Structure 1
Amino acid sequence: MNGGLVRLREVCETLNPSERKVATFILQHPDQMVQMSVAELAESSGASQAAIVRLCKTMGIKGYQDLKLKVAGDLQEPVTAGYQDIRPNDSISAIIQNVSNNNIQSIRDTMKILEERMVERAVDMLNGAKRIYLFGVGASNLIAMDAQQKLLRINKVCFSFSDPHLQLTSAVMLTPEDAAVFISYSGETKEMVRAAEIAKEKGCQTISITKYGDSTLSRTVDIPLFTSSTDNEIRSGAMASRITQLNVIDILYLGIASRNYEHAVEYLEQSRQAIKRL
């Protein structure tokens, strides 16, 4: 059980001042925090016990003891170099190392905050859907297109549209038999939020893939899935977020394929043969 420090880093900038005091203290002194009671942490951080309780609720954690266990689990892991920003005149060797390490770290951090229970529900939802619609704008649309390509290969009826207006039009056509996946790193992309609202009005089953923390999109859908990345820290565009989103899509795809293993293998072989004969 770990991921406490990752969750705190992801939400720290969005917290109210009293909760941020607690989060900042824990991030700076995690080894001390795991030995503290709620009262001791409140005194040391300069916040109230109520703020600690609210922080746990904001993070989606059961309570203070659960938070302590997650932080303690993080402390048992080997120390890593952490995320590296872009620097002037970096050597190619440094760029190779930094970009690769950032991507690896973002996937590892996502593993800590991706809840198995929610992933299981998402796989069941997609597996049972008559049709799957995939929504994303900009770089997130590339993730949606990748998901469509994968799912079509195992004979799942799915759609992805690059035009935002066409996405909204398709949302109007959704039914309770369908499932829709909305991809937005911020969780605040207005086109995605509006499409998700329309999907909910139509009774469609909905999933979101956003960065960890509270967002309009994650609150709107039935099943919110969260990723971690460095995109709020480094000036490199949607790089690490793209990698973590693709990783989540691969998890969902293989979850569906595993539930339909014999048919999935058959369809994959047929598509492979069709391309091979070109």
Structure 2
Amino acid sequence: MEVSVRLKIKSLYNGLSTKEQNIADYILENPISVAHNSISYLSDELNVADSTLFQFAKKLGYSGFKEFKMAILIEENNFSTTSIHEKIEIDDNELTMAQKVFDSNIKTLTNTKKILGLDDLKKAAEIISNSNILYFFGVGGSGILAEDAYHKFLRSPAHVRHSTDYHIQLMEASLLTPQDCAICISHTGKSKETIRIAEIVKEAGAKVIVITSHASSPLAKIGDVVFISISEEIEFHSEALSSRISQLSILDSLYVILMFMNKEKSKEALSKVRRTIWDVKH
């Protein structure tokens, strides 16, 4: 299956130069304008040379800017059709609604899997494995993901921490050291609370791993490693709900990778946890 323009841009975003990121942001926000205007018009809008736009298209794998524009146009037309098809209608029965929700979640997982990078997974796992403390940060719905991750990683060799109280999160962030790391989760990447925490973590010298749905967000630009979850929005089914599925899968992946990196310590940690829980239940 051909990877969409949006997915290509988001998968390459963190490795782009500042100028290229500005071009990427414009394209993601104004795809119709890009598809229907000349390269000269767009270069004036972005204050870059025509050749810069041509090279940007080449970096994404297109033969030139003309082919790039055509890909955007086809994608936008298909997106409009798909959105109408996937949208839950008032006369849909309960099974149809449920099936559309499942289809949306499956699509989210598939699209997110396409842009996962081996280097990012290796780097994040090594950061976590070499850290004295791993802290999970998030507020609102992302706080629930952070708590789930905390519950999961308690079974790993990592020394993990998490709090649902924002003031405690701020204090914990300020006490991290260059030997620690934090995973910051925010669907939009624009949460002022999480951005502030990430800034404090960076000021403390600790590493920041970001999980978000928006590669150009302020939070993503703070991260040492950034994972992007891709989701499609349908009415009454928030994009944030769909992205949650892929964000959980990213966290699950990091957990499994970490466990395999430290097999003996992982077995020991699992054994302790299981034995303690078994004693209570029996």
Interval containing the TM-score (normalised by the shorter chain): 0.7 to 0.9
Cα distance in structure 2, aligned partners of 1:95 and 1:13:
34
Aligned to 1:209: 211
| 1:37 aligned residue | none
Q: Name the counterpart of 1:249.
A: 251
Aligned twin of 2:162: 160
- Residues 211-226 of structure 1: matches in 2 within 5 Å? 211-226=213-228
Of the three residues 81, 94, 97, the one matched with 1:95 is 97
Distance of 2:24 and 2:96 partners within structure 1? 29
**In structure 1, which of residues 45, 64, 69 is the aligned counterpart of residue 57 of structure 2?**
64
Q: 1:173 aligns with which of 163, 175, 189?
A: 175
Alpha carbons of structure 1 residues 160 and 68: separation in structure 2 relative to 1, 3 Å: same
> CA, structure 1 residues 66+98, in 2 after alignment: closer, same or farther (shift >3 Å)?
same
Q: TM-score, normalised by structure 2?
A: 0.76
1:275: Cα distance to partner? Answer: 2.3
Shift of 1:201: 0.8
- Give aligned pairs, total: 252
1:34-113 superposed matches below 5 A: 42=38, 47-48=42-43, 63-68=56-61, 82=82, 84-113=86-115
AA partner of residue 258 (structure 1): F
Deviations 1:87-133 (A, max 9, x none): 32421211221111111100111112222211211111011100001
In the alignment, which of 259, 262, 265 is matched to residue 264 of structure 2? 262
CA distance in 2, matches of 1:242, 1:138: 12
Structure 2's unaligned 5+ residue stretches are 14-22, 69-73
**Contact 1:4–1:67 (Cα < 8 Å) also in 2:** no
Q: Cα–Cα, structure 1 residues 200 and 152, in superposed 2: closer, same or farther, change >3 Å?
A: same
* Residue 20 of structure 1, aligned match among 31, 36, 43: 31
TM-score (structure 1 length as normaliser): 0.77
- Secondary structure of 2:179's match? coil
C-alpha separation between the residues in 2 aligned to 1:23 and 1:252? Answer: 37
List alignment gaps of at least 5 residues for structure 1.
26-40, 57-61
- Cα distance between partner residues in 2 of 1:236 and 1:139: 14
Match of 1:236 in 2: 237
Cα distance in 2, alignment partners of residues 19 and 3 from structure 1: 19
Which residue of 1 is the match for residue 16 of structure 2? none
% identical equivalent positions: 29
Q: CA deviation at 1:16?
A: 6.2
The amino acid of 2:171's aligned partner reads T
* 1:116-195 alignment, distance < 5 Å: 116-195=118-197
Q: CA separation of 1:21/1:89 partners in 2, compared to 1, >3 Å: closer, same or farther?
A: closer
